[in-house]
Amino acid sequence: MKICLTINSSPWSRFKGGGQLAVHHLACALFSKGHQVHVLYSKYPHEYFNIEVPYKIHWVNHHDFATVNLNIFSFSRILGPLAEKEKFDVIHGNAEESYWTGKISKKNKSTYVFTSHTPNIPTTGMLKGINRPVRFLKSINTYFLRSAIIEADHVVAFSKFSGDLIIKGVGDTCANKLKIIPPGVESSWFEVERKPSSNSALLYWGRLEDEKGLPELFHALEVVSKIIKDINLTIVGEGNRLMDYKSLIADLSLTDRVQFTGWLSSSKIQSLSAQSSLGLFPSRVESFGLSVVEAMAAGLPVIAASGGALQENVEEGVTGTLVPINNAGALAKAIISTLENLKHTESMARDAKKRVQHKFNWDKAANKMVDLYNLSNRM
């Protein structure tokens, strides 16, 4: 089977996220099963990545614009001629860059599959959205994404929460073409050998945005620091709120306790996981929550907010600790309690590692995806 995957940015970009990593690992898993795989990633013209992957990469120009994601144009400009040349059996989109993928797929008789990675899907189309012009312009990319979902032959969600959001946004007509296929976790996470620090070392990795619950985390840390004197927090990632968060940390007198590293490679995050006592992921909403699952795979004890899909992957008191969203006080209490009961905490982490290893496997995910790809051929 000849398969083409597309997604904004790339796993090697400073703007990488769970979606880019998922596409990369899916492409590798599909290739290992004997399929011909092409992937379209976007990058800035000046960027250069010296990488080796088993699949074929096609680079698309990456554009930054305040409102409209201009990548919908650059992707279609590359994908159109490529699809006509390669005659893909399947074209699999993953973000609003797929706005015109339905038309390209139909023209070339390819099956069009779309995976939604976002919790933000409008409940109306563009024509109704324009009635509220200011709000529309601020969220126009989500309308592109909604259109990409509607035109797909099959729609994939990583979690039940994400699937429910798709049906809520698009309507029940999408239900019969929706499939829940959890992603896998890269195998190196399971090989992490933890040697927890004697200090109370906390770790977070992900985007630096309010929706990740970072303001609550910093306020919680202020409370915890008054009780646990050696507490420290490492923040891995980049985002639009970095300077705001540094200012907030200074106001809370936490500058000496919080370290921002920027984006790090998976191996470096794994090294930090091996030396940390606790992973913190207080997101207000997550359509899946890859960082949490990676932490569990590494055997790192986790505290997560019960936002979106996180409660599907973390079982309270069994594989981790859940707290309410937007609740710094509850998060502070959970951190203190968890660090004061390390024997139970480590036991939960071991159970979590076993469950994740069984549930989130890229070989299984690829098999399910191929079954979905083949579905159209059997209809």
Ramachandran area for residue 240 (φ above 0: left; ψ -120 to 50: alpha; else beta): alpha
For the four alpha carbons of 33, 111, 26 and 80, in that order, the dihedral sign comes to positive
Q: Does residue 29 sit in the same domain as residue 178?
A: yes
Tell me what pLDDT residue 140 has: 67
As a whole number of Å, the CA-based R_g of the chain is 21
Q: Considering its fold, how many domains does the chain have in total?
A: 2
Q: Does residue 196 sit in the same domain as residue 216?
A: yes
pTM listed for this prediction: 0.86
Q: Does residue 213 sit in the same domain as residue 243?
A: yes
Does position 66 have pLDDT exceeding 80, yes or no?
no
Tell me what pLDDT residue 175 has: 87
Higher pLDDT pick, 346 / 128: 346
Q: Does residue 136 sit in the same domain as residue 76?
A: yes
Tell me, what DSSP letter sits at residue 126?
H
132-185: pLDDT as tens digits: 544 544 556 777 888 899 999 999 999 999 999 999 988 888 888 999 999 999
Whether the CB-CB separation of 273 and 296 falls below 8 Å is answered with: no
- CATH code: domain of residue 170: 3.40.50.2000
Q: Does residue 355 sit in the same domain as residue 365?
A: no
Q: Does residue 71 sit in the same domain as residue 177?
A: yes
Distances (CA, A) of 32 to 22, 35, 112, 357: 15, 7, 22, 19
Tell me what pLDDT residue 18 has: 77
Question: Domain containing 327: what range?
Answer: 187-359
Residues 6+ apart with CB under 8 A from 348: 301, 317, 318, 319, 320, 321
Quick one: which of 162, 200, 192 has its CA closest to 295?
Answer: 192
Q: Does residue 51 sit in the same domain as residue 113?
A: yes
What is the pLDDT averaged over residues 334-354? 93
Say which range, 117-121, 188-192, 329-333, 372-376, has the weakest mean pLDDT: 117-121
* CA–CA separation, 93 and 102 (whole Å): 9
Q: Does residue 235 sit in the same domain as residue 163?
A: no
pLDDT level of residue 377 (50, 70, 90 thresholds): low
Q: Does residue 162 sit in the same domain as residue 19?
A: yes
44-59: pLDDT as tens digits: 888 888 889 999 999 9
Tell me what pLDDT residue 68 has: 64
**105 token code pair:** 């797929």
277-329: pLDDT as tens digits: 999 999 999 989 899 999 999 999 999 999 889 999 999 999 999 999 999 99
Tell me what pLDDT residue 139 has: 57
Q: Does residue 26 sit in the same domain as residue 114?
A: yes
208-240: pLDDT as tens digits: 999 999 999 999 999 999 999 899 999 999 888
Does position 13 have pLDDT exceeding 80, yes or no?
no
Q: Does residue 148 sit in the same domain as residue 78?
A: yes
For the four alpha carbons of 217, 222, 224 and 229, in that order, the dihedral sign comes to positive
Quick one: which of 67, 69, 160 has its CA closest to 116?
Answer: 160
Does position 128 have pLDDT exceeding 60, yes or no?
no
Whether the CB-CB separation of 121 and 168 falls below 8 Å is answered with: yes
- The alpha carbon of 7 is separated from its chain's Cα centroid by a whole number of angstroms, namely 12
Q: Does residue 352 sit in the same domain as residue 367?
A: no
Does position 376 have pLDDT exceeding 70, yes or no?
no
pLDDT level of residue 276 (50, 70, 90 thresholds): very high
Summary mean pLDDT of the chain: 89
Whether the CB-CB separation of 238 and 159 falls below 8 Å is answered with: no
Does position 87 have pLDDT exceeding 90, yes or no?
yes
Beta strands 111-116; 90-93: pairing state: parallel
